[in-house]
Amino acid sequence: MKLELRGVTKRFGSFTANDRISLTVEPGEIHALLGENGAGKSTLMNTIYGLYSPDEGEILLDDQGVSFNGPGDAVDAGIGMVHQHFMLIPVFTVTESVALGYEPTRAAGIMDMAQARAKVLEISARFGFDVDPDARIEDLPVGAQQRVEIIKALSRDAKVLILDEPTAVLTPQETDELITIMGQLRDSGTSIVFITHKLREVRAVADRITVIRRGAVVGETSPQSTETELAGLMVGREVNLTTAKEPADPGEVCFEVRGLTVLNSADKVVVDHVDFQMRRGEILVIAGVDGNGQSELAQTVLGLRTPVAGSILLDDKDLAPLSVKQRLAAGLGFVPEDRSTDGVIGAFTITENYVLDMYDRPPYAGGPGNVALRLPVMREAAQTQAERFDVRMGGVDDPISTLSGGNQQKVVLAREMSRDLRLFVASQPTRGLDVGSIEFVHRTIIEERDKGTPCLIVSTELDEALNLADRIAVMYRGRIVGIVPASTSRDVLGLMMAGVPADEAQAQAATHHTVLAEADEQAEAEENK
């Protein structure tokens, strides 16, 4: 089915999320929609899916104008959507999940599970999805859950399939399987809209690429464009995708984690006998798919969680008896994973956020027992640091919620790096940031490393790990699968992220390349020419 948008505009109040967007998705085409976080991709897709109605412009399916009053209409018209966060009920079986919302019934309204099950099996067989119709959703790995979502869309005869950031939660190998599935769907005539901000994937799978920036289409291009070209188009200026850095000059061992075991609130082991050492002046990235214990590890280092076993030593001192405040005072810099919940207080001013973990000691506090805030000192420090970190803002007395995510993160970094650090820990430091801010954050972390601070970075983005790390530790189900040098190939890391030990991963990767890795090699070859 051909999907066409003509001049679609969507406004929220005075803010234009989509500005006269026109694009055409031909039948049997994978059309990538590329744009940064907040460029308006998801708004556009929600408009197509009937969740929003456009303020202007029209949507055409096979040259027929359509208007949807809700997702139900869109589904009836043959549009399927797989959301970034799956819309599945954990305790349902695959069959129940697929049937949900259009349950086939026999006489007297009794659900015909057999028919639903047959449908799942049929679609599953047609595309070679390896999905057990009787498995419960919560027991399935993420990749399989995603396939259930795809089956669900296909079972309603979707001719246009929208995939919203489908690779965000997948390992490289799972991504590879998804790419194969997308190829099959295309060959069977389904049109696919593939929303992403990852350049490599776009080049590997898309037939055509539409780039949107700040709500408007800024270009349509072919997958032959280089990554640098695509990034430039996406951001609106030239960008460096890799941050230049000198090789690390590691000093003595100064941070050590021994046999650390942590339980979550449901008493499940989330960090499982983790051991590693770090030297001064090196960056160790903890890589892995989200939810494998990395966040909990970082929180335990800060003291937000109490381990059930093991110890954390900073400069040969056990951190166990220290509170969060004492650890911060002892020279720990911490950038939390979820900026808006843990990193900043939205209603506080930039100044207040800047001193959030230093407000009660000189020079920001004064008087007997440091009871009084010294506002002028706070404000001046915030102003100076904001300039140094290039925070784009109205003034330091504005609430931080008025800043973009990237600028908020700069304030967090400025705060954490304004002290003399003995250890710097950052969880997902660039999540949700635009390319420009990512560059800046990476550069700042490398500068901190060059000052001799050991930097422990948790990242689920393989690109970030490769770009930033001196060494990479891969975590899987709470354990460290292996610690490898930063020169390790993506394929090997991908296998390790799925739990394959390092040497075995090496052996496996040597005999098999993923689509993305091949695309990479090709790109490299082209650029070297």
Partner 1 sequence: MSASGSQQGMTPAPKPEQQSPWAEAEGRLSRVLRELGQTSWLVTVLAVVVALVVGAVLILAANRDVQASLSYFFAQPTGFLETSFQVLREAYSSLFRGAVFDWQAPSAARSIRPLTETMVYSVPLILAGLGIAIGFRSGMLNIGGQGQIILGATSAGFLGYALSMPVGLHVLLALAGGILGGAIWGGIAGVLKARTGANEVIVTIMLNNIAIYLLAWLLQQEWYKQTGSNQPLSSSVDESAQLFSLLGSGFRLHAGFLIAILATLGVWWLLERSTLGFEFRAIGENPEAARTAGINVPKATALVLVIAGGLAGLGGAAHVLGTEYRLAGGVAGTLGFDAITVALLGRSKPLGTFLAGLLLGGLRAGGVLMQAQTGTPIDIVLVLQAVIVLMIAAPPLVRAIFFLPHADGRPRIRTRRSRRTAKGAAPTGSTTERELQTSGAPSAGSRSTGPSGTQASGTGPNDTQPPSTTTQEPGK
Q: Which of residues 294-313 bind partner 1 (CB under 8 A)?
A: 302, 304
Closest approach of partner 1 to the CB of residue 279, in Å: 26
Nearest residue to 441 via CA among 452, 460, 451, 427: 427
Q: Which of 85, 110, 246, 485 contacts partner 1 by CB under 8 A?
A: 85
Closest approach of partner 1 to the CB of residue 105, in Å: 30
Closest approach of partner 1 to the CB of residue 114, in Å: 28
Closest approach of partner 1 to the CB of residue 349, in Å: 6
Closest approach of partner 1 to the CB of residue 429, in Å: 14
Footprint of partner 1 on residues 368-397 (CB under 8 A)? 370-373, 375, 392, 394-395, 397
The verdict on 201 binding partner 1 (CB under 8 A) reads: no
Give me the 398-417 binding string for partner 1, x by CB under 8 A, dash otherwise: xx-xxxxxxx----------
Q: Which of 51, 241, 313, 523 contacts partner 1 by CB under 8 A?
A: 51
Q: Which of 96, 201, 357, 461 contacts partner 1 by CB under 8 A?
A: 357
> Which among 58-66, 185-193, 305-313, 435-443 is the span making contact with partner 1, rule CB under 8 A?
435-443
C-alpha R_g of the chain: 25
Q: Which residues, 6+ apart, have CB-to-CB distance to 104 below 8 Å? A: 111, 112, 115, 116, 119
Closest approach of partner 1 to the CB of residue 463, in Å: 18
A 10 A CB-CB count for 313 gives 16
DSSP per-residue codes, 347-388: TSBHHHHHTTTTTTSTTTEESGGG-EE-HHHHHHHHHHHHHH
Q: Which residues, 6+ apart, have CB-to-CB distance to 267 below 8 Å? A: none
The verdict on 323 binding partner 1 (CB under 8 A) reads: yes
Q: Which residues, 6+ apart, have CB-to-CB distance to 199 below 8 Å? A: 34, 227, 230, 231, 234, 241
Burial code (b: 16+ CB inside 10 Å, e: under 16) for 133-148 equals: beeebeebebbbbbbb
Do residues 274 and 305 make contact, with C-beta atoms less than 8 angstroms apart? no
Footprint of partner 1 on residues 239-298 (CB under 8 A)? 264-266, 289-292
Closest approach of partner 1 to the CB of residue 281, in Å: 26
The verdict on 155 binding partner 1 (CB under 8 A) reads: no
> Which among 113-121, 277-285, 359-367, 462-470 is the span making contact with partner 1, rule CB under 8 A?
359-367
Q: Which residues, 6+ apart, have CB-to-CB distance to 35 below 8 Å? A: 41, 197, 211, 212, 213, 234
**Euclidean distance between CA atoms 46 and 67, whole angstroms:** 13
Q: Which of 130, 246, 267, 316 contacts partner 1 by CB under 8 A?
A: 130
Give me the 462-501 binding string for partner 1, x by CB under 8 A, dash otherwise: --------------xx-----------------x-xxxx-
Residue with tokens 């970034």: 84
Do residues 217 and 23 make contact, with C-beta atoms less than 8 angstroms apart? yes
Q: Which of 9, 24, 37, 226 contacts partner 1 by CB under 8 A?
A: 37
> Which among 245-253, 254-262, 338-346, 446-454 is the span making contact with partner 1, rule CB under 8 A?
338-346
The verdict on 181 binding partner 1 (CB under 8 A) reads: no
Q: Which of 93, 191, 349, 459 contacts partner 1 by CB under 8 A?
A: 349
Strand segments, DSSP code E, in 26-101 are 30-34, 56-61, 64-66, 79-82
Closest approach of partner 1 to the CB of residue 264, in Å: 6
CA atoms within 13 A on the CB side of 141: 15
Nearest residue to 259 via CA among 244, 249, 269, 248: 269
The verdict on 512 binding partner 1 (CB under 8 A) reads: yes
Coil vs helix vs strand at 399: strand
Closest approach of partner 1 to the CB of residue 246, in Å: 26
Q: Which of 3, 5, 8, 17 contacts partner 1 by CB under 8 A?
A: 17
